[in-house]
Structure 1
Amino acid sequence: MDIKNNILETIGNTPLIRLNKITKGLPGTILAKVDYFNPGNSIKDRMALKMVEVAEQEGKLKPGGTIIECTSGNTGMGLALAAVVKGYKCIFTTTDKQSKEKMDILKAVGAEVIVCPTNVEPDDPRSYYSVAQRLAREIPNSYHFNQYDNLANRLAHYETTGPEIWKQTDGKITHLVCTAGTGGTITGTAQYLKEKNPNIQIWAIDVYGSLLTKYFRTGEIDMDEVHPYISEGFGEDFVPKNYDMSVIDHFEQVTDKDGAIMARKLAKEEGLFCGYSAGSCIQGLLQLKDRLKADDMVVCIFHDHGSRYVGKIYNDQWMMERGFMEAKTFRDVVSARGGKQRLITLSPDKTVTDAVDLMRKYDIEHIPVFDGENMIGSISEGGLFQQVFAQPEIRQATIEEVLEKPFPMVEFTTPIEKLSSLINKENGAVLAKDEIGNYHIVTKYDLLQALGK
């Protein structure tokens, strides 16, 4: 029998998966180390458990104690799982740029979460670093893990992630590509792989707004490099002690937009529903594609699961508000029909039979009713069906007698997300007038087609 004694025994041994579509045309073999298969859905489970084990061995974490950590969410989840099994309390500080889903998940496993402002200096008393340090001083029998400077972080990846990748590739790996945050994953994994083969290239992916890339290139900590960014889980405004820059061969920066768009492409084209950093990792690799050769074997680290970002990069409205996606509008829906569908209307003196005939002829469900130039109401297949079924004689009634509410009027430039909020069970369509005064209609089926493209 293969039975695990607790959830912590399922950490590690995550799959290596070949990428096929999104990297088509790139030289070599591109593989993803998909660490959302860990029980906490991220690679941080590895280092969280290791940090707890080391703290216990060193006597820093005692029975009944409180785990305190500043986290973007994933490390907190790993620590929370360890706390549940081992009987500790958890208090986590995080930043207000992190997704609500991450905070809710931490609370679900019993942690207390304190949200701190993002755009303050690390030594500001309001920062999530400083708040965690203060809590550790004030709360008896507590320990602040400080994943940034805690070398058990990189030790976890030296002991597990590196050996797994080496074994899974039969030692044929030529490149490791990984986003750079606390430095634990990329440094620990790189240290092991470089010991096995010093020619393996280690490429760190950073975000614009982080100072790590310039520090790697110049050794200079330049705070002028630091500015707010949206990407989550990587990039830093200081240099954590987990970094050993000597095992990293190159730093590549990507934009917030490119990383977000690429994460969505991974889901649609590879079926890998990953977090922000996975998209940025692949985007960085694509920017470096000219450095690859046909016999290369590249391993990309995919840190966490897309469920942590449902309200952000996987939310169309969020993406459009930040200019990461172009908003489709009423005009786009009409244009997609190729101008073939003219607006069918009725006047109030026509009969129900006339309306039914038009619906059959043009295969439509919704018809606006105009009295001259003014829309005074509407007719829908659903509404007519209910009335005709209840009163068969109503077929000869005039449209005026069975009139439903007018369809909402919108601007021709209205985004389809707004249109979708106007179309519901009671109202099946919206109308808009173009620049030359012609009316056009958009129904729920038009929206479904537009959203599917």
Structure 2
Amino acid sequence: MAWKKNILETIGNTPLIQLNKVTKNLPCTVLAKVDYFNPGNSIKDRMALKMLEVAEQEGKIKPGGTIVEGTSGNTGMGLALAAVVKGYKCIFVTTDKQSKEKADILKAVGAEVIVCPTNVMPEDPNSYYSVAKRLATEIPNSFYMNQYDNLANRLAHYESTGPEIWEQTEGKITHLVCTAGTGGTITGTAQYLKEKNPDIKIWAVDVYGSLLTKYFNTGEVDMNEVHPYISEGFGEDFVPKNYDMSVIDQFTQVTDKDGAVLARKIAREEGLFCGYSAGSCLQGLMQLKDSLKPTDLVVCIFHDHGSRYVGKIYNDQWMQERGFLEVKTFRDIVNGRNSQKLLTIAPNDTVADAIALMEKFDIENLPVFEDGNNTGSISQQGLFGKLLSNADIKNQQIKTVQEKAYPEVAIDTPIDRLSNLITKDNGAVLAKDEAGMYQIVTKYDVIKSLSK
């Protein structure tokens, strides 16, 4: 019989999964180290457990004590799982830009969560760094883990992430790509891999608004580089002690939008429901693709699970409000098909006239217009039922059998709203274009557009 003694024994040994569709334009093989398979759904489980074990060994925390940490959510989850097993209390301090899901998950495993403002300097007494440090001095038998400067962070990845990648690729890895935050993952993994093969390239992915890239390039801590950004889990407004820049070969910065869009693409095209930083990691690789060749074997670190971001990057409204989601509209559908004048029928025309038009142009919906006004409609579905009960209806005027007029909307109405307006009893929607001419979108048009 084989079983784990507790949840902590399931940390590590996460799979390496080849990417196929999202990387089809890259010349090399790309593998994702998918660390949401850890029990806390992120790579931070590794370093959380290691930091706690080292603190115990050094006598910095005693049984029944309190773990205090500033976290964007994932480190907190790893520490919370370890605390449950080992019998500690947890107080986590986070920022108001982190997703609500992260705070809720931490509370679900028994942690207390304190939310601080994002847009303050690290040394500000209200920053989540400062609040965490203060709490650790005020609470008896507590220890501030400080993932940023605690070198057990990078040690965890030197001991686990690096060796796993080396063994899983049989030493054939040529590039490691990883988002850069506390520095623990990229530095610890890089230190191990560089010891095995100094020629392996280590590419760090940063976000605009972080000072890490300029620091790497110049050695200067330039606070003018720092400005608010939306991306979560990477980028910094100071340089954590976990960094050893000598093992990193290059930094590249990505935008908030590109990371969010690519994370969604990874989910749709690879079936990997990853977090924000996975999309950013892949975007960073795309930006450096000109340095790659067919024989290269690239490993990207995908840190955490998409469930942490369902209210953000996987929420269409959230994406639209920030201009991250390219929303298709009525106009896009009309512009994407062959231009054709709107076909209409008049109230005094006959049903036979309508049938002839539908057959000639292979259409199912005809608006009824009188004196330039949208007054009704005729559909194949509606006519079919009437013809079955009365074949002589062909000679009747349209106005005796017409259905209700198709709804009119603005030309920039999003497709999702159009799909709500088009129902079993209403097969089309109308809108006026910029020239004041009516255009039509049918159920078929919406289906065709969404399938592209």
TM exceeds 0.5?
yes
**Which runs of structure 2 are paired with 1:271-290 in the superposition (5 Å)?**
271-290=271-290
Describe the shift of the 1:375–1:17 C-alpha distance in structure 2 as closer, same or farther (beyond 3 A).
same
Residues 369 and 377, structure 1, Cα contact 8 Å, conserved in 2: yes
Q: Residues 130, 368 of structure 1: CA spacing in aligned structure 2 closer, same or farther, 3 A cutoff?
A: farther
Cα distance in 2 between the residues matched to 1:163 and 1:207 = 27
Match of 1:446 in 2: 445
Aligned CA distance change for structure 1 residues 362 and 89 (closer, same or farther; 3 Å): farther
Q: Distance in 1 between matches of 2:252 and 2:284?
A: 6
Structure 1: which 5+ residue stretches go unaligned? none
SS of residue matched to 1:301: strand
1:102 aligns with 2:98: no
2: CA distance between counterparts of 1:109 and 1:58?
A: 26
Q: Distance in 2 between matches of 1:282 and 1:354?
A: 57
| 8 A contact 2:345–2:354 mirrored in 1 | no
Trace 1:297-446 onto structure 2 (pairs within 5 A): 297-339=297-339, 342-344=342-344, 347=347, 368-376=367-375, 406-420=405-419, 422-423=421-422, 429-446=428-445
Identity %: 77
Is 1:343–1:440's contact at 8 Å kept on the other side of the alignment?
no
Question: 1:112: how far off?
Answer: 3.1
Pair 381,28 (structure 1): closer, same or farther in 2 beyond 3 Å: closer
Name the aligned partner's letter for residue 300 of structure 1: C
**1:14-68 Cα distance to aligned partner (Å, 9 max, x none):** 1112233433454443322111211222111111121222223333333333332
Q: CA deviation at 1:293?
A: 4.0
Is the partner of 1:91 in helix, strand or coil?
A: strand
More off after superposition, 395-404 vs 69-78: 395-404
Partner of 2:121: 121
- Aligned letter for 1:447? V
**Counterpart residue number, 1:4:** 4
Aligned position for 2:74: 74
Once the two structures are superposed, the pairs formed by residues 58-73 of structure 1 within 5 Å of their partners are 58-73=58-73
**After superposition, what is the alpha-carbon deviation per residue over 1:285-308, rounded to whole angstroms, capped at 9, x for unaligned?**
232233334433322211112232
Structure 2 letter corresponding to 1:179: T
Q: Distance in 2 between matches of 1:155 and 1:255?
A: 30
Structure 1 stretch displaced more, 282-291 or 227-236: 282-291
Distance 2:397 2:142 in 1: 78
Question: What displacement does 1:100 show?
Answer: 2.9
Distance of aligned partners of 1:13 and 1:338 in 2 relative to their CA distance in 1, 3 Å threshold? same
1:343 touches 1:441 (CA, 8 Å); kept in 2? no
- Measured against aligned partners, the alpha-carbon deviations of 1:391-410 in whole angstroms (never above 9, x if no partner) come to x79x9799878887654322
Q: Alpha-carbon deviation of 1:203?
A: 1.6
- Return the letter of the residue paired with 1:321: E
Tell me which moved more, 298-307 or 442-451: 442-451
Helix, strand or coil at the partner of 2:149: coil
Name the residue aligned to 1:236: 236
Shift of 1:148: 1.0
The aligned residue for residue 153 of structure 2 is 153
**Higher mean displacement: 338-347 or 169-178:** 338-347
Whether the aligned pair in 2 keeps the contact of 1:229 and 1:256 (CA below 8 Å) is: yes
Alignment of 1:239-278 (within 5 A): 239-278=239-278
| Equivalent position amino acid for 1:253 in 2 | Q
* Preserved contact between residue 365 and residue 379 of structure 2 (Cα < 8 Å): yes
Aligned partner of 1:261: which letter? V
| Counterpart AA for 1:184 | G
Q: Name the aligned partner's letter for residue 432 of structure 1.
A: A
* TM-score, normalisation: structure 2: 0.86
Residue pair 1:149, 1:242 contacting (<8 A) in 2 also: yes
Give the 3 Å change call, closer, same or farther, for CA 257–400 of structure 1 in structure 2.
same
Shift in Å at residue 280 of structure 1?
1.9
Partner residue, 2:169: 169
RMSD: 3.4
Give the drift of 1:188.
0.9
Offset, 1:117: 2.0
**Matched residues, number:** 450
Q: Distance in 1 between matches of 2:333 and 2:75?
A: 43
- What residue identity is the alignment partner of 1:125? P
- Check conservation: 1:343, 1:439, Cα contact below 8 A: no
My pick for the range that moved more, 289-298 or 217-226, is 289-298
Cα deviation code 1:162-202 (max 9, x no counterpart):
11111112222232211110001011111222222233222
8 A Cα contact 1:52 1:79, kept in partner: yes
In the alignment, structure 2 segments of 5+ residues that lack a partner are: none
Distance 1:317 1:246 in 2: 42
